[in-house]
Amino acid sequence: MKVAIYSRKSKFTGKGESVENQIQMCREHAIQFMHCSDEDFVVYEDEGFSGGNTDRPQFQQMLKDAKLKRFEAIICYRLDRISRNVSDFSQLINELEKLGVSFVSVREQFDTTKPMGRAMMYIASVFSQLERETITERIRDNMLQLSKTGRWLGGTTPTGYRSEMVLSREANGREVKSYKLVVVPEEAQLVQLIFEKYVALRSITQVEKYLAEKCITTKNGSLFGRFSIKFILSNPVYAIADEKLYKHLKSNNYDVYSEKAEFNGSSGLMGYNKTRQNCSSSGERYRKSDEWILAVGLHNGIVASEVWIKAQELLERNKSKAYRKVKSTSALLSGIIRCAGCGSFMRPKTGRRLNSDGQPVFYYICELKEKSRKSRCDMPNANGNVVDGLALSEINNLFLKYPPLIDDRDLSEMKTWFNRDILKDEIHLLEEKLFNIDYEIKNLVRILSKNANSGIETAIMVQMKKLNDQKQTYLAGLEKLLLLKTESTSIVEASEACISKIFPPDKIKWEEIGMEAKRRILRNIFKRLEWNGRDFEIYLTNLFP
């Protein structure tokens, strides 16, 4: 019976229920009660991942393997190793039931093959979620206590401030270190300028253009982008805490944990609980403002309260007009072609007239040129219809010039390369074997360190040599597969011409490939593609001599 062992720990400590201990206890349970042998295990482990959600690499891989029928049961040391969320856990059990995969928890002695075990498992998962919610509440309570101090908790300091250490003594005489923000005058002037321009121009895009035109950069020396400007505008750290600001925050449902008397007309605000922990999606990195914890800080504010309030009102009003990334359905070189003068990307801009083929005429325009209104770059626009056509022509010329790249390879082998899923499965299998060998070697080293018997030592060394030889064989095989995967990405998907060599033209045509797929193909061929005002310069990847 093939069994998957899953283990998880939020962070590495080397103590207690470590990942290795969980795996060993699961092995022993399966051997004793499920009649498994040492060859029957597939191990998945996530260390440094919370049980709050199922967005964990090895957990997701285990679910994929379950669908491929690679094992018949999943065993874990404790239910909360899988998830502390009742909904996630319930969904997992239902999915495993459909796949015919049973689930066993060693600590709680639950087995989904039995009705009582399944019922008790749901009850236990409810308590796991209760524990998680209790931890969340405790963290928020700690945040509330910290907010009363008004100190800086660390991290990247906001533009306009630097971090400064403050020494203080507790009642028992113990010296305590903390930090506060201190104003950096030249950066503070920049922040004030951004707020003033936004209130005057009423557009983040216009502020971005103004800063680019005036050659004003971030403290790291790069151009201000829309999102960095918005982050500054929405940050309460800059607002001068006075009575007007207090009334605004209270009337707009902000959680304010400072008394009205503390809004003294000079201090700034500190925002706590603003970011989400263990968040994989950048779009969900920041919490909504009604989840923030605000308090008067130890630092001085930079922006007058009425200006900060006006900026928040404009941000709210302009939400429906928020910037959206251009998703051109016709510009082939969007996100690929750059300006040879300044190195910025050139983005497509569609006109109203049609060309002789009845297609809309569009141009590629340098982003820096557009932002700075030609003050930082004055590169002539490129006719998009012409440039895209030249790029396609270049692809055909390349594959006519270098036919051995396609013709010297066996057709059936290339079809195998094109099947990326098969490669992924084979790579995963070898990685799994390598993991198991490393685990066995670790166990042998542990046994060797605890025994001084020469007979045992000799036997262990022989076994370790055998395992190491197997490991080298697997590593060589893995290297070949990874190389094959790289080649399949760069050659098999490299162009329409290559695809047509593998599949009949009536099945796959360039016109039928999506725009993103076409751009991906071009990125595999062109290392760099630049427009110099008259024509474009092509720098090829190492795919071609």
CB 127 within 8 A of CB 82: no
Residues 13 and 135 in one domain: yes
Residues 35 and 99 in one domain: yes
pLDDT of 472 reads 80
Beta bridge partners of 90: none
- Counting Cα atoms < 13 Å in the Cβ hemisphere of 519 gives 14
Query: What's the mean pLDDT when you consider all of the chain?
Result: 75
Residues 19 and 139 in one domain: yes
Is 57 within the bounds of a domain? yes
514 confidence band (pLDDT: 50, 70, 90): low
278 confidence band (pLDDT: 50, 70, 90): very low
In 3D space, the residue among 293, 312, 304 whose CA is nearest the CA of residue 266 turns out to be 304
In 3D space, the residue among 292, 282, 298 whose CA is nearest the CA of residue 140 turns out to be 292
Residues 89 and 222 in one domain: no
Q: Quote the tokens at residue 466.
A: 């055998």
CA 292: distance to chain centroid? 23
DSSP 8-state symbol, 542: T
Q: Give me the domain span that covers residue 116.
A: 3-143
pLDDT of 187 reads 93
Q: Which tens digits make up the pLDDT trace of 23-59?
A: 999 999 999 888 899 889 999 988 878 776 788 889 9
Residues 305 and 175 in one domain: yes
Domain of 275, CATH number, reads 3.90.1750.20
CB 340 within 8 A of CB 533: yes
Segment (H or E) for 354: strand 346-354
CB 89 within 8 A of CB 125: yes
DSSP 8-state symbol, 239: B
pLDDT of 100 reads 87
Is 487 within the bounds of a domain? yes
Residues 136 and 166 in one domain: no
Point out the least confidently predicted range of 238-252, 283-297, 314-328, 349-363.
314-328
Residues 128 and 177 in one domain: no
Is 355 within the bounds of a domain? no
Residues 135 and 184 in one domain: no
242 confidence band (pLDDT: 50, 70, 90): very high
Domain of 107, CATH number, reads 3.40.50.1390
pLDDT of 148 reads 65
Is 327 within the bounds of a domain? no
* Secondary structure class of 50 (helix, strand, coil): coil
Average pLDDT estimate for 275-299:
66
Residues 229 and 305 in one domain: yes
Is 421 within the bounds of a domain? yes
Which of 78, 113, 143 corresponds to the end of one domain?
A: 143
pLDDT of 116 reads 63
Is 306 within the bounds of a domain? yes
Long-range pairs of 54-58 with CB within 8 A, sequence gap ≥ 24: 54/83, 54/85, 54/88, 54/92, 55/280, 56/8, 58/6
* Secondary structure class of 171 (helix, strand, coil): coil
Domain count for the chain, please give it: 3
Q: Which tens digits make up the pLDDT trace of 78-121?
A: 878 887 665 567 678 778 888 989 888 888 777 666 666 666 65
In 3D space, the residue among 158, 38, 37 whose CA is nearest the CA of residue 439 turns out to be 38
* Secondary structure class of 140 (helix, strand, coil): helix
> 368-372, 390-394, 519-523: which has the highest mean pLDDT?
368-372
Is 545 within the bounds of a domain? no
pLDDT of 47 reads 82
CB 69 within 8 A of CB 52: no
- Is the pLDDT confidence value at 368 over 80? yes
Residues 16 and 107 in one domain: yes
- d(CA 374, CA 490) in angstroms, rounded, equals 38
Residues 138 and 235 in one domain: no
Residues 116 and 202 in one domain: no
Average pLDDT estimate for 191-219:
90
Confidence (pTM): 0.48
Is 255 within the bounds of a domain? yes
